[in-house]
Structure 1
Amino acid sequence: MSTGVLLAVLGAAFFHAAWNGLVKSGTSKVGGMAIMTLIQGIAGGAVALFHPWPAPEVWPWLLLSGAFHAGYKLFLAFAYEQGDLSRVYPIARGAAPMIVLLVGPLVLTDVLSAAEIAGILLLGGGIATMAAGSLRAREARRLVPYALGSAAMTAGYTIVDGSGARVAASAAQYVGWLFLLDVAIFSPLVTWLRGPALWRADRRTWAVGALAATFSYGAYAVAVWAMTVAPIALVGALRETSILFAVLIGWGLIGERVDRWKSAAAVLIVGGVAVTRL
């Protein structure tokens, strides 16, 4: 992976953590996620207008990805209703590279070096440390299955989108259509689960949702592009440096407590990123 791609992925990781912080800080986590998804879908539609209709071989990837993204957002919003950003986010994001590493050899052609595999495993150690801290702190146990459900969805769309974008006309075309399908799947689902009152949010909630959508769209567009020029599993792992950013945002902006478990997990995560560059 080149230095330019590395820096782009790290920048995307920061903005991914930032939009999660915005959703977590809102009064309605599910409502904030729904508004963000709606605005992303509108932006995706605008982008799609300037690109050709996806080829037939791209549609299976797009449809499967839309389902994974909808499940990811639903699990993540439910997890944020149960626990801190600096606890939920590391578990939700950090378990995903481990799943990609285990499943990837069965469905992907990318070959990782020994250092890259070691880095991903070190990232996994950081996630295990974070999860252990959650249990020791006796926080809401329900956040763990929701966070792991989100991780499973993340692993699914990482593999699907990395492969789908490689057969699409461009990463921009793929992401635009993806977010259109995402809103088409997620919005009816979340309305059915929480009712139409979900959309009657105040002006501040809509503004936060719009800002979160901007961060999310940009971050994922960069990530999908990176997966077309670098190994998918490696890009997926490097994106999880957003865990460190999320811990810092939770501590500095939301006022969450950072104990020694969170600190140790952050060190392991940074170490994992460093090892992948050896």
Structure 2
Amino acid sequence: MPTHIILLTLFAALLHASWNALLRGGSDRLWSMTIMCVAIACSCVIIAPFLPLPTGESVKYAVLSALLHVGYNLCLVRSYQSGDLGKTYPIARGSSPLMVTFGAAIFAGEKIVSTMFVGIGLISSGIMLLAIRSPKVPVRDLKFPLATGAFIAAYSVVDGLGVRVSGNSFSYTVWMSMLWGALMPVFFIILRDTKSLLRWRPGLFGAAVGGLVSLLAYGLIIYAMMAAPMGGVSALRETSVLFAVVLGYLFLGEKLTLRKMLACTVIVIGTFMMG
């Protein structure tokens, strides 16, 4: 995998962990996520006129991805209602790289070399080691994080396919994100009401900034998937758990244990193998 793609993906991983820390630290995470999406949609409306239109062939992928992103948002918010960032985030992220790898092989005909496959496996194993604290993990603790991981894998493969026929990775990202950002408030209103969405609350600015950070992070990932194997990009992206562990320790009062440090070491080894 090209060095510049690795570096871009790792930077996107840092950004991704940052906005997840913002979301996990909020008191009303569904509202925070929705505000993030509104900020994403507004930003994309401003950016879109300066970019060429994506090809018609990519529209179906953008629509499907937007719907999958909404499902991901709802599952992620539900996951954060219980469990700390250092537990819930790794389960959600660690379950997706291998699913993306197999999905890309089935739907995009990608072939993964042995060293990259081992690297992906190490990264996923390390991520899951961060999350699993005992051999017997209650199913209720895994249900929504694993569903989140399935949504991540699904929209990653869809976007990997869409961006490759879009003609312009940034145009595809902007239009898909605009649709995704517009859909999320609709679901919020269905689940709650319009008044609670529009009411001013502390944390509004932080949530909006988190949305912009999220847009930049995923834009970089979509660009990377256009130039590199989807499974490899997905695995490198999930090294964001390393940053999530540190952010959780520094800002959310979460513990940094020997097991977490061992898992992080496994992830780093897998990352080097990817290169």
Same fold (TM over 0.5): yes
Q: Does 1:168 align with 2:163?
A: no
Q: Name whichever of 202-211 and 16-25 sits farther off.
A: 202-211
Mapped to 2, the partners of 1:5 and 1:273 lie a distance apart of: 13
CA positional deviation for 1:258:
2.5
Structure 2 partner of 1:21: 21
In the TM superposition, what are the counterparts of 1:176-191 in structure 2 within 5 Å?
Answer: 176-191=174-189
In the TM superposition, what are the counterparts of 1:1-278 in structure 2 within 5 Å?
Answer: 1-133=1-133, 142-277=140-275
How big is the alpha-carbon RMSD for the aligned residues of Structure 1 and Structure 2?
Answer: 1.8
Q: Name whichever of 108-117 and 202-211 sits farther off.
A: 202-211
User: CA 1:54–1:104 in structure 2 vs 1: closer, same or farther (change >3 Å)?
Assistant: closer
User: CA 1:196–1:265 in structure 2 vs 1: closer, same or farther (change >3 Å)?
Assistant: farther
SS of corresponding position for 1:52: coil
Are the equivalent residues in 1 in contact too, given 2:86–2:130 (CA < 8 A)? no
- CA offset digits 1:66-122 (Å, max 9, x no partner): 011111111111111111111111111111102112322111232221110001111
Mapped to 2, the partners of 1:263 and 1:134 lie a distance apart of: 16
Are the equivalent residues in 1 in contact too, given 2:54–2:168 (CA < 8 A)? no
Are the equivalent residues in 2 in contact too, given 1:80–1:143 (CA < 8 A)? no
Residue identity (%): 33
Aligned residue identity for 1:23 = L
Aligned residue identity for 1:195 = D
Any stretches of 5+ residues in structure 2 without a counterpart? none
CA positional deviation for 1:239:
0.2
Q: Name whichever of 219-228 and 184-193 sits farther off.
A: 184-193
TM superposition score normalised by structure 2: 0.94
SS of corresponding position for 1:49: helix
Aligned residue identity for 2:61 = W
Are the equivalent residues in 2 in contact too, given 1:118–1:272 (CA < 8 A)? yes
- CA offset digits 1:20-76 (Å, max 9, x no partner): 001111111111101001110111122222223333211110011001111111111
Mapped to 2, the partners of 1:205 and 1:126 lie a distance apart of: 33
User: CA 1:92–1:201 in structure 2 vs 1: closer, same or farther (change >3 Å)?
Assistant: farther
Are the equivalent residues in 2 in contact too, given 1:47–1:173 (CA < 8 A)? no
Any stretches of 5+ residues in structure 1 without a counterpart? none
Aligned residue identity for 1:268 = V
Aligned residue identity for 1:90 = P
User: CA 1:142–1:200 in structure 2 vs 1: closer, same or farther (change >3 Å)?
Assistant: farther
- CA offset digits 1:235-260 (Å, max 9, x no partner): 11100110100011001111112333
User: CA 1:194–1:130 in structure 2 vs 1: closer, same or farther (change >3 Å)?
Assistant: farther
SS of corresponding position for 1:256: coil
Are the equivalent residues in 2 in contact too, given 1:87–1:134 (CA < 8 A)? no
Aligned residue identity for 1:228 = M
Mapped to 1, the partners of 2:244 and 2:131 lie a distance apart of: 15
Q: Name whichever of 122-131 and 245-254 sits farther off.
A: 122-131
TM superposition score normalised by structure 1: 0.93
Mapped to 2, the partners of 1:18 and 1:135 lie a distance apart of: 29
CA positional deviation for 1:190:
2.3
